[in-house]
Amino acid sequence: MAEMTYRDAINLALKEEMRRDKNVVVYGEDVAQYEGAFKVTRGLLAEFGELRVRDCPISENTIVGVAVGAAMGGIRPVAELMTVNFALLAMDQIVNHMAKVRYMFGGQTSVPMVVRMPGGGGSQLGAQHSQSLESYFMHCPGMLVAYPATPADAKGLLKSSIRDDNPVIFLEHELLYNSKGEVPEDPEFLVPFGKANVLKSGEQVTIVGYGRMAILALQASLALEKEGVSCEVIDLRALVPLDMETILASVTKTGRAVVIEECWKSAGLGGDIASRIYEGCFDTLLAPVRRISGLDVPMPYSRKIEKLCIPQLDGIVQGVRDLMNEPY
């Protein structure tokens, strides 16, 4: 085990997979000479050369479209879009081609590709550069969706994504890049899809989160522990496939659930998870499922107002307190 940042864990995963398989290539804006907008692709060009690490024009639909064609031809592309916000320019390629080609060809071809995208709010980047669009991708069948919260999961999930024969949307929260954690150095360390991680065991309430919200959920649980509230914290890791088995087992035990999401509340994934909890745990719930979500507004630039639009640690702690006192 070695301590490293979330950014370096992703970088290590890319290097290990490119060393392991010569068909793994990296495409994107500024991924070669500049080494990525967030320096995630640092050192790749020097080690693997310009044939495998390609700077692309500022054209997201082209980046994804070329990756789809390359994947159908036997290459394993990792396409980096500078932020998830720019994926909107490539939605035709993502939704109508990347996600559907394998199905439409009856499995005669596969599309083993990954689209890496940083996103999320909290960096004062304004309404067009601070969005959390994970529910967009979850709504489209045919592709996997990963959203790691820790450096170890960032490495293990990306390696699993690159090796998978299905297309993968790989989401990274920009505020996690400098976070640190223990990461296995084993080049065969993989984190499987469809298996959530219980970050902390507890008895009275289940808190479900993903990405940066899983980290805040864990911090909130530690604060609540001092008040005598025993919280179980679940990090989803992957949004597709969604590990409802782990969630339902936890809520059956605790009787209460809080779902945290940074994305907009309307049509957000928290509503879907809450609905499935009601379907699977109706007889054992001791209180209504509580959702803590981003506000349904374009993200403001002002730091103080921006913080009001995204779940914060204090709000999560208070939300759990309120749930514990809420009769059913």
CATH numbers and ranges of domains, the chain: 2-183 (3.40.50.970), 197-324 (3.40.50.920)
Give the relative orientation of helices 269-281 and 244-254 as an angle to the nearest 10 degrees: 60
Encode pLDDT of 135-154 as tens digits: 999 999 999 999 999 999 99
Distance CA(210)–CA(235), nearest Å, equals: 5
Q: What is the pTM of this model?
A: 0.97
Encode pLDDT of 82-111 as tens digits: 999 999 999 999 999 999 999 999 999 999
DSSP 8-state class, residue 174: G
Q: Is the pLDDT of residue 27 over 80?
A: yes
Q: Catalytic positions, please?
A: 60, 129
Provide the residue type at 206 as one letter. T
Number of CB atoms found within 10 A of residue 73's CB: 10
Q: Can you give the pLDDT at residue 51?
A: 96
Encode pLDDT of 41-91 as tens digits: 999 999 999 999 999 999 999 999 999 999 999 999 999 999 999 999 999
User: What does R_g of the chain's alpha carbons equal in angstroms?
Assistant: 20
Residue among 3, 211, 167 at smallest CA distance from 70: 167
Residue among 232, 273, 236, 229 at smallest CA distance from 253: 232
